[in-house]
Chain A
Amino acid sequence: MKRAFLLFSLVISPVFFWACQRSKGPEGNTFKIGVVTSLTGSNAAFGQAHKNGYTIALEEINAKGGLLGKQVELDYYDDQSRPDQAVQGVSKLVDQDRVPIVLGAYSSESTRAIVPVVTQKQIPLIIPTAVADNVMESNSPWIFRICAGSGSFATATLDFLKNNGDPKKLAIVSENTNFGQANNKSMTEAAKAAGLDLVDSESYQASSPDYKSLLQRVKGKNPEVIYFASYLLDASTLMRQSEQLNLNPKYYTSAGTGFAAAEFPTTDKGAGKYAEYTFSVSQWLPSAKWKGSQEFDQKYFKLAGSHPAYHAMEAYAVLLVAAAAINNAKSDQAQAIRDAIKQVDLADTPFGPVKFEARGQNQHPVLITQVQGGQYKVVWPPDAAESKPIIPTPEWSKRQ
């Protein structure tokens, strides 16, 4: 019995030793920053864009000597596109790996799930891409968001529409997790305020092969504008099936994301020619006027073999912001880093100026793009426009 115990301890003690070593955290040779994103699961395309963006920022930071004299290491946790996994990820990153700051997650659904967790653990979180406005509603002093929210998406879209034909009959089609629902709510409120007639509001399950009945319902209501809040897989299927049903609103508009993904206008991973003429909100494009945008585009192309959309840029930008804050804080403690993030005032990043207002929100302008010839072209606001919007959307039967 005694011998067995001795043997057991011998076997188990290195494991404990190793575990203790690991949990020591920031005292190691590298500075660890926690990242939660969706590397697998239905949002993997966006998670991969995140990772590419982070990788580029990481290389730039480390080339300049890292942070506080240490090379930076990103500690990824893949939430598998699931909010429960995102929560586990934050616990793992903070409790086990002892990271002093977390970036992420990808989706609004996952992000909303981790907001209370980082708040409770008192770790700053910088949100790159979650547009649902409810992720900022907790008023937690630990939460910062670099991207524009669903409310801005709705007002920018309505502003564009008002100045381009002023249509009145609107239908909203949104996926049924936090992202879609938050955009649906924002658009419903904004449309009401703007005096539009909301003729239909639909939500759907994102992993369905068949949206034809849903689109049929929309068609029956005869809207002039459809506003989609969709991820990539569903956005492609929705547009393909809109053609099958010969659904012809004057404007296909959208809350970005799937409709703004780099893959969306491509044939092999997106909607291909069915993406043509769709409008989308956007927050950044390779052609953006901000300094460093083109360089980022080139680096991204070298890394990934394709051009980035704004999701990658937002990941890149949050890591730059985190680095700036850590440098200013001269500390690896969560509280000090949080206070430094509040003070961040970056005048020219490739994502534009970054500065967080009292609630932790960065004021970022929203653009409207249209897919023209397989490319996203900025069509609104006028001072940023690259080309004229094509309105009304040509009917399916009259396209090439």
Chain B
Amino acid sequence: MINWLYIALQAIINGLLTGALYAIIGMGMALIFGVMRIVNFAHGAFLMMGMYATYVVFQATGISPYYQFPLAGALLFLVGYATYMGLLRPIRGQVDFMVILLTMGLALILVDGAQLVFGADYHQINIPLLSKNIHIGPQISINAPWLVAFAIAAVLACALYWVVTQTMFGRAARAIAQNPYAAPLMGINVNRVQAVSFGIGSAAAGIAGSLLLPVFYLFPEVGNQFKLKSFVMVVLGGMGSIQGAAIAGLVLGVVESLTSLYWGNEWALAVDFVLFILVLSLKPSGIFGSQRA
């Protein structure tokens, strides 16, 4: 009876495929939190915007989301950049509560705005790739779009990691994260670096939305559940650690998948938040023990 092994393996693969998408969402959130200590409540709304942008382009041109996701990324980068410059910068240095209110308000406006423009109806798209399955042996099957999304997500996650750890910009961003007062004294343009970080973080959410579109469906409130998950990932990954959030995303995907296989789907979300509470209370610096807590 090797059957159960295949079933578990299949569940782990499914979990990793979903987890890779979670990972980009979480990395975007972690970047913003890490550099600015901003809890971005509009992260889910940005993901939703990315989905709608991709949907509109798809409806107009028929180009598969897997080719046109950079568009959503670029759009959301601009949105993120503008949000920081126009809305967040003026209230920097005020109490954190202001930032929470502002991003929450922004999320409400975006979600209701989407409802106004596109209606509350849900949408989905159909691309030929959706009906392609890749079979590995007799037992394991992988749906092609999930695999493509996984590959893109993996490349993007590595690129983001490289940007943050290896480039001048990344060093500047980390310098600000370590000490926002000393960084400008070292000649770092704090506003610009933060705006770009916010832009990149938002772009990550937008791209995740774009990649999710073919395998999911679209409605104005779609971002909420991913926003909640991204909080969990940031905490699990160690408060602003990008690689931590990425790993946390994969872990979350696998844990959900296995929970759903062995205990039933209704527990999957509960387990997310049990993890969240456990980590917060037992190891607040995150399970992937980040240097900054």
Binding site for B on A (CB under 8 A): 39-42, 44-45, 48, 80, 176, 202-205, 207-214, 216-217, 220, 232-233, 236-237, 240-241, 243-246, 267-269, 272-273
Contact = CB atoms under 8 A, between A and B. Distances in A.
B216 interface: yes
Interface of B: 3, 7, 10-11, 14-15, 18, 115, 119-126, 130-131, 133, 141, 143, 212, 215-217, 219-221, 225, 256-261, 264-266, 268-269
Contact of A210 (B14, B121, B126, B133): B14
B219 A42 contact: yes
B133 A213 contact: no
B121 A45 contact: yes
A246 B139 CA distance: 10
Interface of B is mostly: helix
A42 B121 CA distance: 8
Contacts of B259: 213
Count chain B CB atoms within 10 A of each CB in A44, A213, A267 and give the residue with the most: A213
Contacts of A246: 141
Nearest to B125: A268
A205 B265 CA distance: 7
A131 to B, nearest CB: 20
B257 A213 contact: yes
A208 B115 contact: no
Contact of A213 (B115, B122, B143, B258): B258
A245 B141 contact: yes
Given A176-B266, A216-B261, A44 B122 contact: yes
Given A213-B261, A244-B143, A44 B266 contact: no
Given A40-B115, A41-B221, A45-B121, A240 B130 contact: yes
8 contacts: A40-B115, A45-B122, A202-B265, A211-B265, A216-B10, A220-B7, A244-B133, A245-B141
Contacts of B212: 209
Nearest to B123: A269
Contacts of A48: 121
Given A213-B261, A216-B10, 16 more contacts: A42-B219, A44-B219, A80-B120, A204-B265, A205-B268, A209-B18, A209-B216, A210-B18, A214-B261, A214-B265, A216-B11, A216-B261, A233-B217, A246-B141, A269-B122, A273-B131
Contacts of A176: 266
Contact of A204 (B14, B120, B133, B266): B266
Contacts of A45: 121-122
Nearest to A220: B7
Question: Of A45, A208, A210, which is in contact with the most chain B CB atoms at under 10 Å from its CB?
Answer: A210
